[in-house]
Amino acid sequence: MTPVYMAAGDIPTPHIEYGRLAPTLIVLGAACLGVLVEALAPRTQRYGLQVLVSVVGLVGAFAWTIALALGDQPHHVAAMGAIGVDGPTLFIQGTILVLALMSMLLIAERTHEDSPFTAQASTVPGSPEERESLVAGLVQTEVFPLVLFAVGGMLIFPAANDLLTMFVALEVLSLPLYLLCGLARRRRLLSQEAAVKYFLLGAFSSAFFLYGTALLYGFAGSVRLSDIAAAISKQGGTEPLLLAGVALLAVGLLFKMGAAPFQAWKPDVYQGAPTAITALMASCTLVAAVGGVLRVFYVGLETLRWDWRPMMWAVAILTMLVGAIVAITQTDVKRMLAYSSIAHGGFLLTGVIATNKAGLSSTLFYLAAYGFTTVGAFAVITMVRDAGGEAGHLSRWAGLGKRQPLVAGTFAFFLLAFAGIPLTSGFTGKFAVFQAAMAGGAMPLVIVGVVSSAIAAFFYVRVIVLMFFSEPLADGPSVAFSPTTATAVAVGAFVTLVLGVIPGPALHLAQSAANQLFVR
């Protein structure tokens, strides 16, 4: 594949430069405004103002992203060449913004209880101070600017044209998530444990990424992806510095995806974090991470593909099998979906390995399809509640289909989409990435993917059987309806159905984005 280059001497004017960066600047500006709201607004008004600022910021950024995509010149470089604005990047950024807006509906939820987040993060779980803050009705509204800062980093990460910019974006998106994972209102110790695990393992992965960047700089004399690609073409791909740098860089990127063998953090963090934050991470963070993988391996390391593809083959196979097999043993619904997410990361890598336009377009489509289904599934989880909060253990879901058929049916639909059943977006996405992989000569990988899908279908169907063919528990959970959560569920179900029944427009949009390739 031949990336598109800017013409020599084409130096953008400052106002055009800002326009190309506008979606990210809008989100980060809204985050800064949210910090001012926390500092200056009265406590009773903060929640409403934070929701308004967050929603307006995300909607405005998405509108500007559409304007950039419809512009006459979709290929740009900005920030002195550090940021690339092109078809795949705009598709990924638009997907992140829409999924973040859906996740924001869950984060802003206040119907089920005062807040899904702890009233005061600094208090020790179970302490008198924590009880006093709960009685006082304190609401943790700092989560809104933290989410916006994380989304801003997610927008930069797949657009970064050099590895240092990508590393900064990685930290900007990760640090707020470390904090957000530890802010659950219930099961505080589990939430804090998840935050500590995520932080420690995330710090290790960042170190791998940075060390890999240093080695690639030693090889190419530059951290810019285009310069690294040129150095590989000139010097060949057998230099120890190059191979070691690629390996370490891949560790950092694959960790953020949750690909095996770097997936250990994912089940614990997904289970312990507030479910609204889990939905954000399972959708937006995965989209941003795969976008970063695509840019690094399709732009900087595209000429080295015969060296990194065998490594990716091994990682993809291991990821699909680990995610599908270990999920069978899970008894917590969030941990089950975490291992499901791991398996889907392997399917996404199948599209990456294709290294052609079909692989790029199918991966983009899969990201959008999986993201909507994921947010919808976690939104349903927030609705199924018992006296202790969300009903996390699968045994609590027994007979839910007889007591709440609409909610159980919707969740079953999402599970069938994860399994890749026809007439759902999951089937279309898997078919697209498998077809691209076959065209790229990866037939054995496709066979493993099909087998993994069959294994995964077992535990999805097991949950459906539990909901519809088991007797309801006498003290079974209830379903708490709310407008915001119901909206997220409805949007997720609608998109999952549309992308499964009439996927043509979305596939065409992904193909158009892939045809523009990545700028360097």
pLDDT tens digits for 242-273?
Answer: 999 999 999 999 999 999 899 889 999 999 99
Give the pLDDT band (50/70/90) at residue 5. Answer: very low
Average pLDDT over residues 103-121: 77
pLDDT at residue 8 in the model: 36
Q: Given pLDDT bands bounded at 50, 70 and 90, which one contains residue 2?
A: very low
Q: Where is pLDDT greater, at 74 or 329?
A: 329
Residue 476: pLDDT above 80? no
**Nearest in space to 274 (alpha carbons), one of 382, 134, 174:** 382
Average pLDDT over residues 463-491: 89
Phi, psi (deg, nearest 5) at residue 38: -60, -35
Angle (CA) 349 351 356, round 5°: 130
- Tell me the pLDDT tens digit for each residue of 170-193: 999 999 999 999 888 878 888 999
Q: Give φ, ψ of 102 to 5 degrees.
A: -65, -40
Residue written as token pair 């619904």? 333
- Those residues whose C-beta lies under 8 Å from the C-beta of residue 358, and which sit 6 or more positions away, are 432, 435, 436, 439, 440, 514
pLDDT more than 70, % of the chain = 92
- What is the average per-residue pLDDT within 222-228? 92
pLDDT at site 3: 43
- pLDDT tens-digit map of 31-65: 999 999 999 988 888 888 999 999 999 999 999 99
385: pLDDT strictly greater than 70:
yes
| Residue predicted with more confidence, 109 or 431 | 431
- Per-residue pLDDT band for 73 (boundaries 50, 70, 90) equals low
State the burial class of residue 496 (Cβ atoms within 10 Å of its Cβ: 0-12, 13-18, 19+). buried
Distance of CA 461 to the CA centre of its chain: 25
Reported as a pLDDT band with limits 50, 70 and 90, residue 130 is low
**Residue given tokens 């500092």 in the structure block:** 39
Q: Residues 287, 374: contact at Cβ < 8 Å?
A: no
Quick check: 112 pLDDT over 60?
no
- Strand (E) positions, 335-396? 384-386, 389-390
387 burial class (0-12, 13-18, 19+ CB within 10 angstroms)?
exposed
Residue 88: which of 104, 72, 68 has the closest Cα? 68
Q: Which amino acid appears at position 346 of this protein?
A: G
Tell me the pLDDT tens digit for each residue of 413-468: 999 999 999 999 999 999 999 999 998 888 999 999 999 999 999 989 999 999 99
Is 165:296 a contact under the CB 8 Å cutoff? no
pLDDT value of position 184: 85
- Check residue 134 and give its pLDDT: 66
Residue 327's pLDDT band, with cuts at 50, 70 and 90, is very high
Question: 76: which strand partners?
Answer: 85
State pTM to two decimals. 0.93
489 CB-near residues (< 8 Å, 6+ apart): 376, 379, 380, 383, 410
Question: pLDDT confidence of 296, banded at 50, 70, 90?
Answer: very high
Going by C-alpha positions, the residue among 467, 355, 365, 456 that lies closest to residue 411 is 467
SS3 of residue 478 by DSSP: strand
pLDDT band at 12 (very low <50, low <70, confident <90, very high): very low
Whether the predicted pLDDT of 154 surpasses 60:
yes
pLDDT at 313: 94
Q: Is the pLDDT of residue 100 over 90?
A: yes
43-69 and 22-40 helices, crossing angle to 10°: 180
Of the listed ranges 210-214, 447-451, 476-480, the least confidently predicted one is 476-480
Q: Which of 72-86, 192-206, 423-437 has the lowest mean pLDDT?
A: 72-86
Which residue in the block uniquely carries the two structure tokens 């915001």?
484
pLDDT over threshold 80, residue 518: no
